[in-house]
Structure 1
Amino acid sequence: MTDESPRKFVLVTRKTRLQELVERFNTWPQAKFYLEHNQVNAKDYFDEHDLYQERVRQAEQFLKKTGLFQKLERSMLPGYRFHPTDIVVVIGQDGLVANTLKYLDGQPLVALNPDPGRWDGKLLPFSVKDLPGVIRQVCHNDWPCRKITFAQACTNDGQQILAVNDLFIGPRTHQSARYRINWADKAETQSSSGIIVSTGFGSTGWFQSILAGAMAVSGTTGHPLENGFAWDEQRLQFSVREPFPSRTTGIGLVFGEITQEKWLEIESMMPENGVIFSDGIENDCIAFNSGIIAKIGLSKKAGRLVWNT
């Protein structure tokens, strides 16, 4: 991007807890009554909402003066088409960063923490006051970006889904998942609570809870991946949750690495309620019922998160 080329800034926001409560109960007085009835401090909801809206206003004011501008609420992301030269600004939390990255294809993403006193913001390296300096340097391609490897699932009936953190393959409910797994020239039928496929970006999240449980059960105190792996590594890690051994189901393929050369293939044996969802969002899913074969591997797309070194 040169100084002369038009710049478009896309500001991605989320609803506050206050807004979500009002949607649920139709009016604020009804929502307030619900909170107070449950002995919850309603003022905290107001304070969070007011500060978040003020940070959105400040960011919007600056970006509108700087170039072309578009504001998107999170629910609008699936239907929005980003331009290759867009610069995307997200006002967190961390989950919104991951959710937004999934819809990008190499555009730089600047993540802002609206309230450092409330949110740790491990993926939110900047505040609104940093925005002018960061945007100026991003426009000159003079700010470091961390590359993020995505996972993808493609099915034999043409469905596809991307993940920034992880994929879940299994039942929509708490029933057992039944499927046939094929990896590294080995195959077996399994019954389990589902399969988690983690990226480096997500390897300090859900993946860590799986490792922690496995180490606790086995009595071990360490694992080579207990601190995760790099965001840009060209690898994924799959873990089978609670595999059940029986005469017809095995437990030989429960943990392994997925690379460009070594994909994971799973054939559903679930008549209904089988799904593949990404990044912990159950509504963002594709069907995975009997007859569907999913191929899980690295995506050609990658994310770029502007980072403060």
Structure 2
Amino acid sequence: MSGHYQHRFILVVRKTRLQELIERFNTWPQARFYLEHNQVDAQDYLDEHDMYQRRLQEAERTLKALGRFQLLERHLLPNYQFSPDDIVITIGQDGLVANTLKYLNGQPVIAINPDPRRWDGKLLPFEIGDLHAVVLRTVAGKSACKTISFAEAKTNDSQQMLAVNDLFIGPKSHTSAHYRLSWNGHQETQSSSGIIISTGFGSTGWFQSLLAGALGVSGTTSHPLKEGFAWHEKRLQFTVREPFPSRTTGISMIFGVITPNTPLKLESLMPENGVIFSDGIESDFLAFNSGTVVTINLAAIQGQLIV
């Protein structure tokens, strides 16, 4: 039996916009009426869906010919038991790659762009025609890969959350967060609209919008982190959003680096509506209310993205 049969190929997929609309409106005719009533091109939804389904069928044929195969819907990721020898393939946008990585423990991920004309895909180095060759290289241990450092949030009641791109800690809605921040031997009580902790992988995403806003306000155009930082770096970057100076709240620690030796600690001073969520998934959150202390540091596990 050839070596690649020792591996299982997990194809991670997500619903298309068309499928999500049909779930919302029960039928495609009702969904199409909604789109056309709002002067949206329904054909674009059909074209995207058809292209995605063709790519899934091509990927399934390729992977079944190479070994054991499993199709996995994105929403099942949190409860799926991956094996150490699994090779994971994603077909979708960048967000699917990030969402998949944090449920793995070092298994390699091959990210396929289903429609390069539609998606830029900064994290999608391959097209469907590359799949067979890149799988064989990966099985043989000859594929190059990039290591990705994760952020980890741990609370004082033993809850834990990983982030591939970033963590948000703050208010559930558009109100102010109140907390006590401890970092690098200093402590400060703050009021803000929340804190973003970015990984190197996420440093070209949400982090860049925060940096762009700060540069715009200050009237400058350059910053050492304007291009982000490397995915594998053993560091995180925290940014306090809209810090408010007052008689009881400070603004002296609003931007800093988290390393294994300088973790960030936050104690909630909010009786309710405080949350911690990762990678933009607001529905999956940890409560951050009075009595909760969370420590942010680099996670012990790392991701592996085939390039």
When the two structures are superposed, what TM-score results if normalisation uses the length of structure 2? Answer: 0.98
Q: 1:1-12, aligned counterparts within 5 Å?
A: 3=3, 6-12=6-12
Gaps of 5+ in 1: none
Say whether 1:191 aligns with 2:191. yes
Counterpart position of 2:242: 242
Q: Once the 2 structures are TM-superposed, how far is the Cα of residue 141 of structure 1 from its aligned partner?
A: 0.5
Q: Give the counterpart letter for 1:78 in structure 2.
A: P
Whole-angstrom distance in 2 between the partners of 1:213 and 1:246: 22
Whole-angstrom distance in 2 between the partners of 1:5 and 1:117: 34
Counterpart position of 2:282: 282
Q: CA RMSD in A?
A: 0.9
Q: 1:74-93, aligned counterparts within 5 Å?
A: 74-93=74-93
Whole-angstrom distance in 2 between the partners of 1:107 and 1:4: 15
Whole-angstrom distance in 2 between the partners of 1:89 and 1:65: 15
Q: Give the counterpart letter for 1:303 in structure 2.
A: G
Whole-angstrom distance in 2 between the partners of 1:40 and 1:240: 38
Whole-angstrom distance in 2 between the partners of 1:39 and 1:168: 35
Counterpart position of 1:49: 49
Whole-angstrom distance in 2 between the partners of 1:64 and 1:139: 15
Counterpart position of 1:264: 264
- Determine helix, strand or coil for the equivalent of 1:22: helix
Whole-angstrom distance in 2 between the partners of 1:167 and 1:233: 17
Counterpart position of 1:305: 305
Counterpart position of 1:211: 211
- Determine helix, strand or coil for the equivalent of 2:305: strand
4+ runs of 1 displaced by more than 6 Å? none
Q: Give the counterpart letter for 2:54 in structure 1.
A: E
Whole-angstrom distance in 2 between the partners of 1:126 and 1:208: 25
Whole-angstrom distance in 2 between the partners of 1:28 and 1:275: 36
- Determine helix, strand or coil for the equivalent of 2:167: strand
Q: Give the counterpart letter for 2:107 in structure 1.
A: Q
Whole-angstrom distance in 2 between the partners of 1:36 and 1:242: 39
- Determine helix, strand or coil for the equivalent of 1:119: coil
The percent of aligned pairs where both chains have the same amino acid is: 65
Q: 1:80-229, aligned counterparts within 5 Å?
A: 80-229=80-229
Aligned residues of 2:4 and 2:66 also touching (Cα < 8 A)? no
Aligned residues of 2:109 and 2:305 also touching (Cα < 8 A)? yes
Whole-angstrom distance in 2 between the partners of 1:271 and 1:64: 53
Q: Once the 2 structures are TM-superposed, how far is the Cα of residue 4 of structure 1 from its aligned partner?
A: 6.8
- Determine helix, strand or coil for the equivalent of 2:115: coil
Q: Give the counterpart letter for 1:175 in structure 2.
A: T
Q: Once the 2 structures are TM-superposed, how far is the Cα of residue 31 of structure 1 from its aligned partner?
A: 0.4
Whole-angstrom distance in 1 between the partners of 2:36 and 2:256: 49
- Determine helix, strand or coil for the equivalent of 2:53: helix
Whole-angstrom distance in 1 between the partners of 2:183 and 2:255: 10
Whole-angstrom distance in 1 between the partners of 2:169 and 2:200: 18
